[in-house]
Chains A and B, each alone.
Chain A
């Protein structure tokens, strides 16, 4: 598994560099989870981070250390917490996480400064686990029932629901154009969550055939989304022309 990550790692870097550049030019196209507010400051960062220096500055209580820590991790922590737990009290959770990280660093709990990313991840995961535990217990106390709990708030506003419905319609259109066998492959992967290995074995597919089908469907989905955006952009133009 690690080997396959490594292979895909390298090829992704070139594409990603181009994506970063185009994203810098157009902040409004940045996708987000729910309504998470994002900053693009970290796009500006290009120099490698000197982790021991950063940790030392935080330990000293140097403001620049705190600022750099926030600049590096704020969007990521926010993203991770929002994805796992939803938007509710997100600012407070992000703040609490930073506080825990800074206090732990100042206490000397981080013994290897180069492992700062792993350390922050551990703190964030513990925050998520603690929150889930709290929600489960409080609901159990309220209901006196041991029921499944959805922790992340999946509710969306009407506009978001409409956009999502549009995406489902795109997907339905794509599916209608596929052969029954290809639909079965996507069905097995996305709906029944069978692994690539299982699907390839049972349907006599090569890994390449499987990947190609998936990536074509996704590319088509992306094209349809772009076309819809372009149509939207043209609506005001046509309405001006017809009014004039």
Chain B
């Protein structure tokens, strides 16, 4: 695959790139293209903003805590309830 000017990448590729989920080789191709393609710069800017909003919103939902964190919170609550040290 050549990182050309006239070819473009899909939204979800930029999303994965923004989240650091692409390989080093993919990043090379994507970044070379990004330097000369304003359309893909816009897609990446949108992806960055969407990911930020999603992270902020998801962190406010009850399921946001990871499993170990949820267990730790549950344990802390139980200890408090039963006045355990």
B42 touches A23 (CB 8 A): yes
CA distance A90 to B36 in the complex (A): 18
Which residues of chain A in 186-213 are interfacial with respect to chain B, using CB atoms and an 8 Å cutoff? 186-187, 190-193, 195, 211
Type the 1/0 row for A106-129, where 1 means its CB is closer than 8 Å to any CB of B. 000000000001101100110000
Type the 1/0 row for A173-192, where 1 means its CB is closer than 8 Å to any CB of B. 01100001001101100111
Taking the complex as formed, is A139 at the interface, i.e. its CB lies under 8 A from any CB of chain B?
no
- Count residues of chain B with CB under 8 A from any CB of chain A: 53
Q: How large is the interface on A (under 10, 10 to 19, 20 to 34, 35 or more residues)?
A: 35 or more
Using A5-B1, A186-B54, A190-B54 as known contacts, say yes or no to A13 and B36 having CB atoms under 8 A apart: no
Residue in contact with B34 in the complex, picked from A1, A32, A79, A174, CB distance below 8 Å: A79
A2 touches B35 (CB 8 A): no
Taking the complex as formed, is B60 at the interface, i.e. its CB lies under 8 A from any CB of chain A?
yes
Taking the complex as formed, is A171 at the interface, i.e. its CB lies under 8 A from any CB of chain B?
yes
Q: Which residues of B contact A120 (CB under 8 A)?
A: 35
Smallest beta-carbon distance A97→chain B, Å: 11
Using A8-B9, A13-B8, A31-B45 as known contacts, say yes or no to A192 and B57 having CB atoms under 8 A apart: no
B45 touches A43 (CB 8 A): no
Q: Which residues of A contact B41 (CB under 8 A)?
A: 38, 75-76, 79
Q: Which residues of A contact B58 (CB under 8 A)?
A: 171, 175, 183, 186-187, 190-191
Q: Which residues of A contact B55 (CB under 8 A)?
A: 190-191
A13 touches B12 (CB 8 A): no
A76 touches B36 (CB 8 A): yes
Smallest beta-carbon distance A175→chain B, Å: 6
Q: Which residues of A contact B31 (CB under 8 A)?
A: 80, 121, 125
CA distance A20 to B8 in the complex (A): 11
A187 touches B63 (CB 8 A): yes
Of all chain B residues, the one with the shortest Cβ separation from A79 is B41
21 contacts between A and B (CB under 8 A): A2-B25, A2-B26, A6-B1, A8-B12, A13-B6, A16-B40, A23-B38, A33-B48, A76-B34, A79-B45, A80-B35, A117-B32, A164-B49, A167-B49, A168-B60, A171-B57, A172-B57, A186-B54, A186-B58, A190-B51, A190-B54
Other contacts beyond A33-B48, A191-B64: 9, CB < 8 A: A15-B10, A31-B45, A42-B38, A76-B36, A77-B35, A79-B34, A164-B49, A171-B58, A211-B12
